[in-house]
Structure 1
Amino acid sequence: MNSPSKKIFILIFTSAILWGGMVSPSPVWAQSPPCTHTASDVSSLLTVQNTIRTEISGGLARNITVCLNGGTYQLTSPLRFDNRDSGTGQYTITYQSTPGQSAVISSGKIIASLWTKSGNIWTNTISDAASFRQLYLNDNPLPRASKAFTIASVSGKQITVKETANFSNLSPDAELLALGSFSIYREKIISGNGNTLTAATLMGLASVDPDPGYAGIAPIPGRPLFVENDPKYLDQPGEWIFSTSSKTLKYVPKSATENPNSEQFVYPVLDQLLIINGSKNLKFNNLTFAHSKWTLPAGGYDGLQAGSYGMDPYTATYFSPPAILTEFSSNLEFNSNTFWHLGSHGLALGQGSNNIKINGNLFTDIGGNSIMVGYRPQFVLETDWNPVSLAPQRNDITNNIIYSTATTTWDAVGIFAAFSGFTTISNNLIHDLPYSGISAGFIWNTTATSMKNTTIKNNYIHHISLKLNDSGGIYVLGNQPNSVMSNNATTDIYPPNPGSAVAGIYFDNGSTGWKVQENIIANWFCSDCQPNHVPSDSPANFNLVSNNVYGSVPPVIDLTKIGPQITFPTPTPTSIPTGIFNTGDINKDGKVDIFDYNLLFSDFGKTGKPGFTTSDINSDGKVDTADYDILIVNYGK
């Protein structure tokens, strides 16, 4: 079970070409002091922890560095840190991999090599496994057996597909995955008949509330539906199914010569790997956190947004447990770690989490949100902390690489922040996500909350909204006074439904209090796409948007040419950057016409051409240059 360290350096090199070396995780352990303690397995790690607790109780008088020798630390219960494990304002306690080695904190269990073959399918009995939804072969995730269909109609617990199907006699372990606009639904299947499935629970808010605003929060006809974990669809190389009743794992080899008995299969056992509650002045450096599981909620997963779920969100909204959770803790650091093969959310900062730095880490193959600030396991939608003093404060998320995440709950995001103050999200590389890149705010009106002073700057976000719609490279909600969004690049957003609202920067309902400047938004395509999207039913207000660069028809801007001209983190696009625009038949319709050009900067809205707003945007009582963007629109022949 190795960590993907090589991928970090490949991504750094690639991003440096595109964007002047924005993201630069560094091996923090190389500068760490000598090891004061060492561990080689979970037992010795717990012994060291108790030894340090004794030293702390007598008065900590030195920095402590615990070096974890290379190898897998297989957990049977989460590691826990509390007030007995704290450093002080003067002395810090660090847990890290031994320099030059890689320690993996994992709940993964290796499957015994007891495979038998029948036809093209290998079978193994795992008698001590309750259930699992993730399986890894030689550190690579394997897909559960799945068959794709198209939703025709939804009525209560029943969902019908357009294709001819035979849904009778499905396994009791079979599940469905259905897509809405910006949310997904995972449910147990209790029966099937012809083209119709019956789920164990209702699917989506539209099935329980007639409010038209909930129409999109449900499976939508025309969108995909998948039937998973049923033997009749176990037909593709690399697929597998697991039966909770017989405890049998079935696997289709990737090739005729593959023998599972000579390979390493791993499944996760625990939902959580590390829980920190009441600790201060701790660092976790250069560790790998891997192999946590996601458990389907008893009532199914009825996605709301950003990895939250619930059938009655104004009574109870939920987030699944994260692999790593902090609560009532401060002055923590997570540096140069790898988070991967995690079934649910990755690293979450919950109540009372303050002054925490998440810097230079790699997140990939995460089932839900990679990083969360403002995690709550259960709450009423759109309500603040009670008391407000529980809101996380002054946390920094910097220099991280996040890609190919939200693999289980596709409506999750790269970085999520809600009901928190003074959160900084900067210099992160985020790409290849099914929904939004960064999501900040979680209330759909302008009510004042603990969410304020948010800073989102110097991030590069591309290729998001791969499976869902109504999303943004940077998506914000609600009233966030004194917040700044600057020097970001969001590019290459091509949603699966071209008719959906998608934007490089998305101001959703109630978005207020933002200063948005010097961002690059380029290369997106859909009929309702806008560089800055504002919903008509609850427009954003009191936002100052200025000096941004936009290019819409794909792919107008050649990103490889941005870096040499606009030096991040402080670009100053005061004129058209030369040579960055592609020319010719950009939209591939067989002709070069107006739709292939996006080369005109506005002269602060005074030309009267379509696309320029001429009003008091920032509500300061006058119409002046502060009310206008530098725009690039498709009039520039």
Structure 2
Amino acid sequence: MTYRLPGRALAALTAALTAFTAFTGAMLSTAHADAGAAGAAKIVVSPGGSDRNVGTADHPVATLAKARQLARSLSGTSDVVVELTGGTYRLTEPLRLTGADSGRNGHTVTWRGHPGQTPVLSGALRVTGWKVHDAAANIYAAPVPKGTDSRQLYVDGAGAPRASITISRNDVQVTKTGMTIVNPNLKYLASLPRQNRIEVESQNSFTDRYAPVQRVDGTTITMQQPAWNNNNWGYDTLAKPFAGGTLMLQNSYSFLKTAGQWYLDPDAGQLYYKAPAGKNPADSDVELPQLTSLMQIGGTYDDPAHDITVQNIRFEYSTWLQPGTSTGYADQQNGAFLAATHQQPNDFLTSCQSGCPLFEAARNSWHQIPAAVQVSAARGITFTGNTFTHLGQVALGIGNDANAHASGVGLGASNITVQRNTFTDDAGAGIVAGGVQPDAHHPSNPAMVDKDITIKNNLVTRVAQDYKDMSGILTTYVTHAVIEHNEVSDLAYDGIDVGWGWGANDPGGSTDYRNRGLYNYQPVYSTPTTLSDNSVRYNLIHGTKKVFHDGGSLYNLSASPRTVIEGNYIYDNRNTVGLYLDEGSRYVTLSHNVIRDSGVWAFTNASPTNNTNDSTFSENWYNSGATQVATGSPHNNVLRGNVQVSSGNWPTAARQVMDRAGIEPGRRPPVDRQADQ
């Protein structure tokens, strides 16, 4: 399911985002232009240039690869500015910046858009050659190179949904090898061609799962492995979601039922599009993403990438194909998934629907979704004034596990700044910082620690469009993440999530996970994790929980000493949870937040065995919703000075928080801040 605004609203929001990015980019470009005048070497790139040129404004080079080569030769003796003029740079491979592409001898390297212009780094193929394929159904077809595949399509800048149909969970019966068709109206599936292109999507309580079909014989649907088995054990499974949810069949020509849908046949090299009435795709800009990533910044732990700024560039069009493979997307939470075959109990469909020991054996091998723009083994990296849009997975990944980085080197991100960027219409989260595997929380090399990551004054809206289980911003095992003055909105799941691990990796472990069998497969740690000293302040979070009821608009997981959640304004979360401390959350202070119209304004997922203890909720304001915080022994969470308001009579201090939260004044796009505060 893809959420869409009406045409006028979408156009207005698009204009606002463009104005916002242009405004911040212009401010920052002016500052760097002054630096350039003071002696930085400048290399100019233009889509109409030539790599035989020297890279001046009058004689620009054409490719990013050539610009990188020139920058390497200059960065040891001066600051370097690589300036991209406006236009679309269609990439055939990502731009990779390593230790060799860093500032040296105290110098810096900046990749930026020319002031007042918008360079686009695109990973898409523009599709042309449209002809009517089925006039009665208004379906058009266009040729693409055989073997071309993608999970996304964009028409005139708007995401088009894949061909799909929604079915009832009662239409099928889940088995160990697939499904049995119960509804006779679905028997036609056995006659469809290219059955191994069909996928099942299951939207549950907090997971969003994808599994591809192998074949359909009569009423027997055999699914590809290990995707099927991995999606059907653990927690909130496809077979037994905690609270039901939508079940869909996707990606078959026969599912082209609704205007705007599309289907791609890689073997035939044909793209099909069911156009809206009166529309011809030949008159539109149709973009089919091809690359998985557009930019990769990272070196090694001994030679990290460093002192690089990326400014005023539009990153657009990427795709991530793994969910359509036999691995599928066996989602566990917030972009983490099972990616291999694991030993399972023979009766996993009954014995492992709320965890089991063998499931715990697989926990430390969970993978993360790779990002379109990747940063690892790097320090002193800044992203400012950029737009990340129409990306087929996570937009920006910082210090994730090695499996999420094309370089093969994960983690190790420090002194990273992400400020005044726009993230919108992306398939996964806007920003993910940190990893989930053991080296993320107890690193075997000190250089692996993710630390000092600042995420500030960013607009993150309408992301996680395909992988709806993801929050707008996620930081996992990070020391000193500063998440301040962001606006995060319009999400299927949470707004901002901090932490990972359910307390299982904290000192002394968790009785819950001891009972579940985790410590048969990993140690009980005696030292703290890298998760600490985080600041989540002055963020505006609204329009969350549009699909999944579990989780919270602002959420913490595991012990996070000296972490402060303060001055955030949360509203429009469909009467779900505002402030959520999940399993093992400890040592967190939540104060001076405003929570409006939540079903539960404050929640601790506490049991006698999970260490959700020792946090403080103080001087927050809320107008509705239950307080579900475990105080007293053994939890010792504290509620102090919190105020429930009625009839919209917010105190002056609460109104000051409402006004202050979000992108700082002067840098805020002109969007509705809900004037009826």
TM-score (normalizing by structure 1): 0.79
Change (3 A) 1:246 1:362: same
Task: Tell me the distance in 2 between the aligned counterparts of 1:470 and 1:330.
Answer: 35
Contact preservation (8 Å) 2:459, 2:488: yes
Out of 345, 363, 383, the residue aligned to residue 394 of structure 2 is 345
Task: Tell me the distance in 2 between the aligned counterparts of 1:67 and 1:462.
Answer: 36
Contact preservation (8 Å) 2:200, 2:250: yes
Aligned AA (2:280) = N
Task: Tell me the distance in 1 between the aligned counterparts of 2:553 and 2:12.
Answer: 26
Match of 1:81 in 2: 97
Describe how 1:430-445 pairs up with structure 2 within 5 A: 430-445=488-503
Deviation, 1:222, is 3.5
Deviation, 1:194, is 7.3
RMSD of Structure 2 on Structure 1 (CA) = 3.2
Match of 2:247 in 1: 225
Task: Tell me the distance in 1 between the aligned counterparts of 2:115 and 2:46.
Answer: 14
Task: Tell me the distance in 1 between the aligned counterparts of 2:458 and 2:182.
Answer: 42
1:283 aligns with 2:343: no
Aligned AA (1:142) = A
2:68 partner SS: helix
Task: Tell me the distance in 1 between the aligned counterparts of 2:88 and 2:319.
Answer: 17
Task: Tell me the distance in 1 between the aligned counterparts of 2:72 and 2:126.
Answer: 32
2:254 partner SS: helix
Out of 33, 37, 45, the residue aligned to residue 39 of structure 1 is 45
Out of 460, 464, 469, the residue aligned to residue 406 of structure 1 is 464
Percent identity over the alignment? 25
Match of 2:232 in 1: 207
Describe how 1:142-221 pairs up with structure 2 within 5 A: 142-152=160-170, 153-159=173-179, 164-166=185-187, 167-170=189-192, 171-172=194-195, 173-192=197-216, 197-201=221-225, 203=228, 207-208=232-233, 214=235, 220=241
| Ranges in structure 1 where 5+ consecutive residues have no aligned partner | 15-22, 496-501, 554-597, 599-609, 621-625
Contact preservation (8 Å) 1:613, 1:628: no
Change (3 A) 1:113 1:636: closer
Task: Tell me the distance in 1 between the aligned counterparts of 2:258 and 2:186.
Answer: 18
Task: Tell me the distance in 2 between the aligned counterparts of 1:106 and 1:218.
Answer: 38
Change (3 A) 1:636 1:251: closer
TM-score (normalizing by structure 2): 0.74
1:320 aligns with 2:369: yes
Match of 1:264 in 2: 285
Match of 1:356 in 2: 416
Task: Tell me the distance in 1 between the aligned counterparts of 2:311 and 2:446.
Answer: 31
1:546 aligns with 2:552: no
1:236 aligns with 2:258: yes
1:95 partner SS: strand
Task: Tell me the distance in 2 between the aligned counterparts of 1:70 and 1:511.
Answer: 47
Match of 1:10 in 2: 16
2:282 partner SS: helix
Task: Tell me the distance in 2 between the aligned counterparts of 1:5 and 1:81.
Answer: 35
Aligned AA (1:306) = N
Match of 1:632 in 2: 644
Match of 1:484 in 2: 564
1:507 aligns with 2:584: no
Change (3 A) 1:481 1:161: farther
2:70 partner SS: helix
2:584 partner SS: coil
Instruction: Please give the per-residue CA displacement for 1:357-412, whole angstroms capped at 9, x wherever unaligned.
Output: 00010001111121111147xx4699543335402110100000111111121111
Deviation, 1:506, is 0.9
Task: Tell me the distance in 2 between the aligned counterparts of 1:9 and 1:540.
Answer: 44
Task: Tell me the distance in 1 between the aligned counterparts of 2:276 and 2:454.
Answer: 42
Task: Tell me the distance in 1 between the aligned counterparts of 2:14 and 2:566.
Answer: 25
Deviation, 1:315, is 4.9
Task: Tell me the distance in 2 between the aligned counterparts of 1:178 and 1:237.
Answer: 23
Contact preservation (8 Å) 1:24, 1:399: no
Deviation, 1:477, is 0.7
Aligned AA (1:285) = Q
Task: Tell me the distance in 2 between the aligned counterparts of 1:426 and 1:304.
Answer: 27
Contact preservation (8 Å) 1:426, 1:458: yes
Contact preservation (8 Å) 1:492, 1:523: yes
Aligned AA (1:97) = G
Match of 1:300 in 2: 328
Match of 1:28 in 2: 28
Aligned AA (2:292) = D
Match of 1:91 in 2: 107
Instruction: Please give the per-residue CA displacement for 1:583-632, whole angstroms capped at 9, x wherever unaligned.
Output: xxxxxxxxxxxxxxx9xxxxxxxxxxx98987479859xxxxx7424142
Contact preservation (8 Å) 1:543, 1:617: no
1:467 partner SS: coil
Task: Tell me the distance in 1 between the aligned counterparts of 2:570 and 2:449.
Answer: 29
Match of 1:245 in 2: 267
Task: Tell me the distance in 2 between the aligned counterparts of 1:483 and 1:391.
Answer: 17
Match of 1:118 in 2: 134
Task: Tell me the distance in 2 between the aligned counterparts of 1:322 and 1:612.
Answer: 36
Task: Tell me the distance in 2 between the aligned counterparts of 1:219 and 1:234.
Answer: 28
1:60 aligns with 2:77: yes
2:169 partner SS: strand
Aligned AA (1:31) = A
Contact preservation (8 Å) 1:138, 1:263: yes
| Ranges in structure 2 where 5+ consecutive residues have no aligned partner | 1-9, 37-41, 48-60, 299-303, 343-361, 400-410, 508-527, 650-677
2:209 partner SS: strand
Describe how 1:444-483 pairs up with structure 2 within 5 A: 444-445=502-503, 446-447=506-507, 448-483=528-563
Contact preservation (8 Å) 2:584, 2:610: yes
1:165 partner SS: helix
- Which protein has the bigger helix share? 2
